[in-house]
Structures are given as structure tokens and as C-alpha cells.
């Protein structure tokens, strides 16, 4: 294959994805993808395993994570690439974020109990397994108990913003997320900007070290991607992209359904090389 492109936004079982890094790499190879990143939420647990497997299986893997930051009532996701995943300060902060995720599960369980939805925290933690826990795991637990049949339904009825089981997330600011990635020698990228809708902050974040925009994403149409491509060029930010695959068929996302042209992978590799 001349240019199988890259998928730099994939979730594994180390957060709320269903597949192991090995299964993800096998799928990516089947689809002719040249480079991947597993960007699990608020954790770097799967990074080493992914890099080891990728080097054995002859596919490029770039270390990644997706940090959840909070602005008011909204979430902003900051992707980090090519950073030192062993960095102690970064790990300390990610551990704290994961503890907050667990605390949120207990609060959600309480709120849900008040409307007669009986979930035990362990129902959620057993689904999350070794990964960072999230609302998706809560949704699966609710479905398992027979209170709903689809994940979208759970969010609409119970745990989406403003619903009875919704508990606001406590987290760090986008500036701190950017800072953590920069401090660990990496490249911070604003994830799926069309979802977060905070274009007015991009230049300010760039001042803090933001280096890229996720131009290609399964929730962003061709027209939207072209808009962010222009913005990235205007602001001198690098361009990334990926499917945001979680392993379920929800939203019909699959690995490689969004292909980042390989020249952009070369560009972020070059930025890393220049940083030393």
C-alpha cells in the first residue's frame, strides 16, 4: 500500500475501549494502516505494551493519551503525542484524574439510586477492568441490569448532562493538560474541536504550548475538517486525526474510518525530532 494513512485516536481496554492493544494492532494491520496511536482517557497504562507489540509487528505506534479537561460545564479533550509516558509528574496527575473518575462513579450510583436505578459501584468497576473508569462503563452496567438497551438511551435518560444521574466531572484546566504534555516532552493537540466548540480559546492555548489541532475525526464532516485544516494552517498548528474508535458499533466508528494522510505523521515525528 502506498499510503495507508494513520489513525492516531483509538481507545483500548485501558480506558473505555473494548479491544486490547494487540487486537487493535491486528485490526490496523488488516486495514493497511501505517501508524496508530492508542490514546486512552487520562492514562498511559497501555503505552508500553502498545509500543512493544507495534515494534514486533512492524507498524508504527506513537505514544499517546487523551486528557479530559474541564471548562465550566464543558469538557475539553487534549491529546498528547510523543511524550515520556514514564514522567513522574504526569503520572501523578493522571492518577489523580483516575481517582476522581472512581469517585464520580460512587456519586452517580447514589444519584441513580434516588430514581430507583439500582447499580453497585462494583458492577461498574468490574466492567472497566484494568482501565480508567468512565460513564461508558456506567452505561454498560445500566444496560446489563436491564434498565435500558442502548448506550445512547442511557445517556439521554439517565447520565447525560442535566439528567438525574449526571454528576459533573472534576478535572484540570486545558492549560494544565497542555502544560503536562509539554513538560513530559510531548506534543499537545486539541481533540475534536467541533465537539467542544471552543475555537475562541485556540490562540490562547497556543500561547500555552498547544501544538496541534485534530482536523480529522469521525464526528467531523469533510467540510468541518476543511475548516479546521485552514485554521491549523493559519495558526501554524500541526494536523492530526483519527477515528476515536472504542470497539463498539455505536456511531459506526471503526479503526481507520478516518485516515490521517501520512505526511502529517511525518510532520509530528519531525517536531519530536527537533525537540530532541
CB atoms within 10 A of CB 216: 27
Site string for Zn ion, 211-250 (x = CB under 5 A): ---------------------------------x------
Burial class of residue 155 (count of CB atoms within 10 Å of its CB; 0-12, 13-18, 19+) = buried
* DSSP β-ladder status, 187-190 and 74-81: antiparallel
Q: Are 78 and 178 in contact (CB under 8 A)?
A: yes
C-beta nearest to Zn ion: residue = 77
Give the CA distances from residue 240 to residues 46, 62, 81, 189, 262, in Å, rounded to whole numbers and listed in that order: 20, 12, 10, 8, 10
Q: How far is the CB of 14 from Zn ion (least distance, A)?
A: 12
Strands (E), the chain: 6-10, 35-38, 60-61, 64-71, 74-81, 187-190, 212-217, 238-242
Contacts (CB under 5 A) with Zn ion, residues 162-201: 191
Shortest distance in whole angstroms from residue 193 CB to Zn ion: 11
| Residue number, 123 or 217, with CB nearest to Zn ion | 217
Nearest CB to Zn ion, comparing residues 7 and 244: 244
Our CB check for Zn ion shows the closer of 142 and 258 to be 258
* Whole-number Cα distances in Å, 76 to 16, 51, 256, 267: 17, 26, 23, 24
Nearer to Zn ion, 5 or 247 (CB): 247
Residue 77 CB, nearest approach to Zn ion (Å): 4
Q: What is the largest CA-CA distance in the chain?
A: 57
Q: Work out whether 135 is an interface residue with Zn ion (CB under 5 A).
A: no
Report, in this order, helix, strand and coil percent for the chain, each rounded to 5: 45, 15, 35
Shortest distance (Å) from residue 113 CB to Zn ion: 29
Binding to Zn ion in span 25-84, by CB under 5 A:
66, 77
Considering beta carbons, is residue 77 or 259 the nearer one to Zn ion? 77
Question: Taking the complex as a whole, how short is the minimal distance between the CB of residue 177 and Zn ion, in angstroms?
Answer: 12
Q: Between 76 and 112, name the residue whose CB sits nearer to Zn ion.
A: 76
CB 192 within 8 A of CB 219: yes
Size of the site for Zn ion (CB under 5 A): 4
Binding mask 136-165 for Zn ion (x = CB under 5 A): ------------------------------
Closest separation in Å from C-beta 120 to Zn ion: 27
Residue pair 239/5 in contact by the 8 Å Cβ criterion: no
CB nearer Zn ion, residue 27 or residue 117: 27
The C-alpha cell that represents 8 in the structure block: 492516531
* Shortest distance, position 122 Cβ to Zn ion, whole Å: 26
Binding stretches for Zn ion (CB under 5 A): 66, 77, 191, 244
Amino acid at each position: 500500500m502506498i499510503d495507508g494513512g494513520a489513525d492516531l485516536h483509538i481507545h483500548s481496554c485501558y480506558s473505555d475501549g473494548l479491544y486490547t492493544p494487540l487486537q487493535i494492532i491486528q485490526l490496523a494491520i488488516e486495514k493497511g494502516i501505517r501508524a496508530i496511536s492508542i490514546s486512552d482517557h487520562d492514562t498511559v497504562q497501555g503505552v508500553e505494551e502498545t509500543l512493544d507489540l507495534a515494534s514486533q509487528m512492524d507498524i508504527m505506534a506513537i505514544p499517546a493519551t487523551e486528557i479530559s479537561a474541564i471548562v465550566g460545564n464543558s469538557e475539553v479533550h487534549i491529546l498528547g503525542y510523543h511524550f515520556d509516558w514514564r514522567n513522574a509528574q504526569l503520572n501523578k496527575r493522571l492518577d489523580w484524574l483516575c481517582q476522581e473518575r472512581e469517585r464520580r462513579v460512587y456519586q452517580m450510583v447514589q444519584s441513580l439510586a434516588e430514581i430507583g436505578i439500582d447499580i453497585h459501584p462494583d458492577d461498574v468497576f468490574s466492567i472497566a477492568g484494568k482501565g480508567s473508569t468512565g460513564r461508558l462503563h456506567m452505561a454498560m452496567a445500566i444496560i446489563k441490569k436491564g434498565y435500558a438497551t442502548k448506550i445512547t438511551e442511557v445517556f439521554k435518560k439517565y447520565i447525560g448532562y442535566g439528567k438525574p444521574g449526571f454528576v459533573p466531572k472534576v478535572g484540570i484546566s486545558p492549560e494544565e493538560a497542555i502544560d503536562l504534555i509539554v513538560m513530559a516532552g510531548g506534543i499537545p493537540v486539541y481533540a475534536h474541536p467541533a465537539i467542544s466548540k471552543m475555537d475562541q480559546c485556540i490562540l490562547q492555548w497556543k500561547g500555552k504550548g498547544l501544538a496541534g489541532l485534530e482536523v480529522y475525526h469521525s464526528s467531523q464532516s469533510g467540510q468541518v475538517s476543511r475548516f479546521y485544516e485552514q485554521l491549523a494552517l493559519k495558526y501554524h498548528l500541526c494536523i492530526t486525526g483519527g477515528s476515536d474508535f472504542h470497539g463498539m458499533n455505536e456511531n459506526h466508528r471503526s479503526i481507520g474510518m478516518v485516515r490521517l494522510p501520512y505526511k502529517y505523521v511525518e510532520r509530528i515525528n519531525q517536531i519530536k525530532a527537533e525537540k530532541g
